[in-house]
Structure 1
């Protein structure tokens, strides 16, 4: 048994942007979706690069860059200076993105993915098949694989269902993934934490029931405390 593969660990529903996406639109996207990176793809779905939180922070910090001293400029590499200028003053995803994206196939083992991340000092790899984006594997995904019990086939199936529910929740403006936690055991989805309203919990049940692999949905949430929600 080779252990879990990238296809078992990856987040399949990846948010992507075209190369002409403005910087501020990407910043809002990452903040609204609670994600730390977004692949840049062309019209055919081919991965051109990736923009991370670090790239956006570097872009904002670059607005305050001071010109290098004349002495420092003597020893600076013009190509590196030009690349930094483009990435700290660019206005689109194409300007900011890292083009050298580390990719794996869906059949790459988790162990090999971990080695690649460690060796290259990166936080995520892009899963590509037939030159098309299939998903992303992050360090958090690998951590879940490490702590999974030996009977991984069942556990990974439940984990994939849980992640599918979480991804579906992130796409809805009325959900609250901060105070609502999701657990999946033997195909049964259980919501824990706090709820803002019965209407939201009903919608969450409908959402979860629409995820393939979900056998039942349970709600163990508690009413949102007034000191958190400032309820009426």
Structure 2
């Protein structure tokens, strides 16, 4: 099975000036654990995860003042839609993270998470 078969195409894309609270609200509303942070000036992409927001709040950062830019991971490992789920899982294990931004020739097309991969690997009869 390939990443494109498991990834969530329902993603959240935010700008670096979004506050952590704004990011958290959007992520919660769409029930996703990560947002793609797109820098309009540089055209680059990063990722902001629920863990990044949790870490900031744990450090007493104000979610209404802290911006996504200050907590975005920019050294992102991207997955191709044609990667196997094994390749994605290996990249996550090597890097110690739970989300991969899926990128094609035109830009981000979704995010694949550890949960997405597990859903594909666990037989449906065991999930129900």
**Bin for the TM-score computed over the shorter chain:** 0.7 to 0.9
What secondary structure is seen at the aligned counterpart in 2 of 1:144? helix
Residue equivalent to 1:146: 121
Q: Normalised by the size of structure 1, how large is the TM-score?
A: 0.47
Q: Deviations over 1:72-95 (max 9, x none)?
A: xxxxxxxxxxxxxxxx9x721111
TM-align CA RMSD:
2.5
What secondary structure is seen at the aligned counterpart in 2 of 1:135? strand
Q: Normalised by the size of structure 2, how large is the TM-score?
A: 0.81
1:57 aligns with 2:32: no
Hey, which bits of structure 1, 4+ residues long, moved more than 4 A?
none
2:105 aligned residue (130, 142, 163): 130
5+ residue gaps, structure 2? none
Alignment length (residue pairs): 122
Residue equivalent to 2:16: 19
User: 1:17 touches 1:40 (CA, 8 Å); kept in 2?
Assistant: yes
* Structure with more helix by fraction: 1
What secondary structure is seen at the aligned counterpart in 2 of 1:16? strand
- Structure scoring higher RCO (CA < 8 A, sep ≥ 6) equals 2
Structure-2 change in CA distance of 1:47 and 1:127 (3 Å)? farther
